[in-house]
Structure 1
Amino acid sequence: MGDITVDIIGCGDAFGSGGQLQTCFYIHTSHSRLLLDCGATAYYGIKQQRINIDDIDTIMISHFHGDHYGGVPFLLLEEAIRRREKPLTIISPPTGKERITKLLDQLYPGSNVLGKLNLLFKTYITDGVMEADHLEVTAFPVMHTPDTLPHGVRIEIGGKIISFSGDTAWTPVLIELARDADLFICECNDYHSEAKGHMNYKTLLAYADQLTHKRILLTHFGTEMFRNREQIDYPYAHDGLRVTLN
């Protein structure tokens, strides 16, 4: 089915630790182009990497923290100004349309952005499979700030499985998310400190033998992870990295 490419637009935490932009991964095949999260600073990276916004047919949101979906209003505003006619699907936990509408009203009052675009909002089917635009998505609730409705996702696309933990502390759900994944993108915010709702590297190592992914890529580094980069045995993301699955 051809190569699947994952471009790292942004992989940083909420505070831009290490100078990295906020979370945004661009997954593209010959038949589908997907943004997985779109943090508030990620739109700069989309432009910097010269991604044609009109090519994007799906935006998938893991949870409702600004560093994971705060860039969506800017993308939608530009597409409305450009009078985009191509459909765009937004997949998220429940309340996605309502939250994005409120965010747009706060940032650009009176713009009526959603009324100018051909948008389809879809909601995760928890522990069930949802089909959209040449891909299948299975979503699992994870351990993060409950009000953000945090999810990890398994995406079947182009004959491959790309899994993303979202923001989460350790949970057995990660075992299922990582199972036989061609690429498992796993947040690892800290090295040994325990921040509520986030993974640390020492915990990840303790459960590593239960994660049966084919390939892993760590993301969402805080300052502690950057200070300990030489101690990390796993590959990790950086802005501008390209990963190809073939």
Structure 2
Amino acid sequence: MIETTVTIIGCGDAFASGGQLHTCFYIQAPHATLLLDCGATAYYGIKKQGINLNDIDAIVISHFHGDHFGGVPFLLLEEAVRNREKPLTIISPPTGKDRIKKLLKQLYPGSEVLNKLNLLFKTYIPDGVLQADHFEITAFPVAHTPNTLPHGLRIGIAGKIIGFSGDTAWTPMLIELARDADLFICECNYFQSEINGHMNYKTLLNYDDQLLYKQLLLTHFGEEMIQYRDQVNHPYAYDGLKIAL
């Protein structure tokens, strides 16, 4: 049986601290392949990992900051140029299609990319589960910049649960996101500084015993976290890391 794997395409913060690419996780399962976020610089990492774009069935977007969805126009443009026929699903908070359309208009005016691809746009279901082909997503609002429509996600795929905090400060929603997750990917932008909309490691330690994950992976490190990385006692992401679930 083919195992389910998660490859870290990019795990950096908005400023690509430490030279890490923007957020993007490549999830491969027996019957579905997903991108979880696709930040502005992630497309380079997708190419570096040798990923065949046609293998991607869906792109899942946690929120509308450029380091989490700014790479989508580049992927769509290439697939349009290559005359992709396979359907591609884009799952996001509301307004996803409109925001991506506006990005494409600014970056590649006149390209008409959306008209050249077989795209299906879906939005998260409030207080419900979004069923897709061979996977499902439960989305939870989290504590980040409100107008980016921030969500944490639980993805059920091939009998595994992948939890993702998205960008967020501490919120009790993380307890549900992490519960029984085979992998819980949690942003941890800072070591001890308390900055609105982001987690710090000291806070995470205070609540760690409530996060009943099976495996934790910290991500989205800023310069402060990189500086204190030798004091971090939990696994953390780096570009190119591959995890089998």
Same topology, TM > 0.5:
yes
Unpaired segments ≥5 residues, structure 2: none
- If the length of structure 1 is used for normalisation, what is the TM-score? 0.99
Residue of structure 2 in register with 1:89 after alignment = 89
Q: Which residue number corresponds to residue 162 of structure 2?
A: 162
Q: Given that residues 57 and 133 in structure 1 are in contact (C-alpha distance below 8 angstroms), is that contact kept between their aligned partners in structure 2?
A: no
Q: Which residue of 2 aligns with 1:28?
A: 28
2:151 match: 151
Distance (Å, rounded) in 1 between the aligned partners of 2:77 and 2:68:
17
Partner residue in 2 for 1:207 = 207
Residue 46 of structure 1 and its aligned partner are, at CA, apart by 0.2
Q: Which moved more, 1:169-178 or 1:2-11?
A: 2-11
What corresponds to 1:190 in structure 2? Answer: 190
CA distance in 1, matches of 2:216, 2:124: 24
* CA distance in structure 2 between the aligned counterparts of 1:195 and 1:4, rounded to whole angstroms: 34
Matched residues, number:
245
**TM-score when scaled to structure 2?**
0.99
Q: % of aligned pairs identical?
A: 76
Q: What are the residue-to-residue correspondences of 1:73-112 with 2, within 5 Å?
A: 73-112=73-112
Contact 1:58 1:133 in 2 (8 A): no
Distance 2:30 2:178 in 1: 25
For residue 147 of structure 1, give the secondary structure of its aligned residue in structure 2.
helix
* Aligned-pair CA distance for 1:2: 3.8
Letter in 2 for 1:83: N
Aligned Cα root-mean-square deviation (Å): 0.6
Moved over 4 A (4+): none
After TM superposition, list the pairs within 5 Å mapping 1:166-245 onto structure 2.
166-245=166-245
Tell me if the contact between 1:23 and 1:68 (Cα under 8 Å) persists in the aligned partners.
Answer: yes
Aligned partners of 1:3, 1:229: CA distance in 2, in Å? Answer: 30
For 1:146 and 1:134, how far apart are their aligned partners in 2? 31
Q: CA deviation at 1:66?
A: 0.2
Q: Which runs of 5+ in 1 are unaligned?
A: none
> Match for residue 58 of structure 2?
58
Q: 3-state DSSP class of the match of 2:169?
A: coil
